[in-house]
Homo-oligomer: A and B are copies of this chain.
Amino acid sequence: MSQRKTTGDAVARVTIRDVAERAGVSVASVSRVLSGSNYPVSDTVRSRVMQVVRDLDYVTNAHARSLAGMGTPTVAILINNVTAAAFAHIAKGVEGAATLRGWLSLVGTTGDDPERELALVDLMRQQGVAAVVLLGGAYDHDGYQLRMARFARSLDAVGSHLVLVGRPPLQGDVPATTVDYDNESGAYAMAGHLLSAGHRRILTLPGPAELSTAQGRLNGARRAFEAYGVPFDRGLLRQGPYDEAYGYAAVDAALHETPDFTAVLAGSDIVAAGAMQALRAAGLRVPEDVSITGYDDIPLASQLTPQLTTVHVPYEEMGRVALHAVADRRKSAGAEARRTGPNAEHLVLGTHVVVRNSVRSSKRYPRVTASVRTATKVSR
């Protein structure tokens, strides 16, 4: 019934030539009808082409189209772990915004492996993606700056662009866009919340020592302690990976070694969940005996009992913002032809404390409001 030719063993895809032939017009005309070119085409030709397209269920070959110059812009999202709720939300934001703009999105997971990250960046470069978005905190050691700068430049060289989301911005004149949240202020506010509720012995579980986000959260907490004139006790600081087990183990150990803490300042909601379990296992109640706070405000936070007081990070919005930033950039780059000024952009979104039921006043102290919500834009 169909005229498709079968070349050897595979069904040959219907091409624009097949359509042209069957419609009795030239391929140029078919292209003009289908590519949304505003070039004049008679209605007869147009309708005849459309009819054949429907009959043959034809779709244009995206690769050929890209080669010829008019491809769909694609954004590549590189994640460490798809199942991490926070990352999934950023990805959702990027993907949603991409779709809205008619962009396509590719996803790759690195599993925290630098080798794989490099391979993926290269792969995306081959794909000619419009932008590569790297998600999540970065480990500070082994030349993160250099590594990213290299990525940024090699992507820039092929007309692509690097976007860092939730990662530290790059120093110097590196062609990359950073979308970040006010990590440290969030931690400052959260710790302040605990301190103003009268807590003084606070078990602090910021996360992995080398991870940029964990460092920021720790710094924020220390600044809050300082502001309240409370000495920071290193004995109450325990670092470890962002997972439940860490929260559990840290509390468990602290219960033996420094059992006088009245609150746990966790570096993430997941860690808080682990901490909560450890407290329960020890027969302690939350928040009656010990208060707990989290960070991230992923859905889990409100599913726990008691619901977790935590720091809200606008993950999905960051994803959206990131995509819009590159998309706009791309548009204006087309107009201005050559970049005139600086090439790096740094967007910072605000965070704020969400008060739920996992914190209880320990004594009476002046209460301080510590909600930060700012959207700063720093171009350099």
Chain A interfacial positions (CB closer than 8 Å to B)? 4, 8-11, 13-14, 57, 59-67, 71-72, 77, 81-83, 85, 88-89, 91-92, 95-96, 99, 104-109, 116, 122-123, 125-128, 154, 157-159, 244, 270, 273, 276-277, 280, 299-300, 303-305, 334, 337-338
Q: Which chain B positions have C-beta within 8 A of A91?
A: 82, 107
Q: Are A127 and B303 CB-contacts (below 8 A) given A83-B92, A95-B82, A95-B107?
A: no
User: What CA separation (Å) do A128 and B64 show in the bound complex?
Assistant: 11
Q: Which of B66, B270, B280 contacts A63 (CB 8 A)?
A: B66
Q: Decide: A305 and B334 in contact? CB cutoff 8 A.
A: no
Q: Which chain B positions have C-beta within 8 A of A13?
A: 128, 158-159
Q: Which of B99, B108, B299 contacts A95 (CB 8 A)?
A: B108
Q: A13-B159, A82-B88 are in contact. List 19 more A-B contacts (CB 8 A).
A: A9-B337, A10-B159, A11-B157, A14-B158, A59-B125, A59-B126, A62-B63, A62-B127, A63-B66, A63-B128, A81-B92, A82-B92, A85-B85, A91-B107, A104-B123, A105-B106, A106-B107, A277-B305, A305-B305
Q: Decide: A85 and B83 in contact? CB cutoff 8 A.
A: yes
Q: Which chain B positions have C-beta within 8 A of A67?
A: 61, 63-64, 67
Closest to A4 in B: B157
Q: Are A11 and B159 CB-contacts (below 8 A) given A71-B63, A92-B109, A303-B300?
A: yes
Q: Decide: A8 and B59 in contact? CB cutoff 8 A.
A: no
Closest to A74 in B: B106
User: What CA separation (Å) do A109 and B89 show in the bound complex?
Assistant: 12
Q: Which chain B positions have C-beta within 8 A of A95?
A: 82, 107-109
User: What CA separation (Å) do A129 and B127 show in the bound complex?
Assistant: 14
User: What CA separation (Å) do A3 and B95 show in the bound complex?
Assistant: 36
Q: How far is the CB of A211 from chain B (nearest CB, A)?
A: 20
Q: How far is the CB of A25 from chain B (nearest CB, A)?
A: 21
Q: How far is the CB of A149 from chain B (nearest CB, A)?
A: 13
Q: Which of B64, B109, B157 contacts A99 (CB 8 A)?
A: B109
Closest to A56 in B: B157
Q: Are A96 and B109 CB-contacts (below 8 A) given A59-B122, A61-B126?
A: yes
Q: Which chain B positions have C-beta within 8 A of A159?
A: 10-11, 13
Q: Decide: A62 and B11 in contact? CB cutoff 8 A.
A: no
Q: How far is the CB of A2 from chain B (nearest CB, A)?
A: 8
11 CB-based A-B contacts, threshold 8 Å: A8-B337, A9-B337, A13-B158, A57-B154, A59-B122, A62-B128, A82-B88, A82-B92, A83-B92, A104-B123, A300-B303
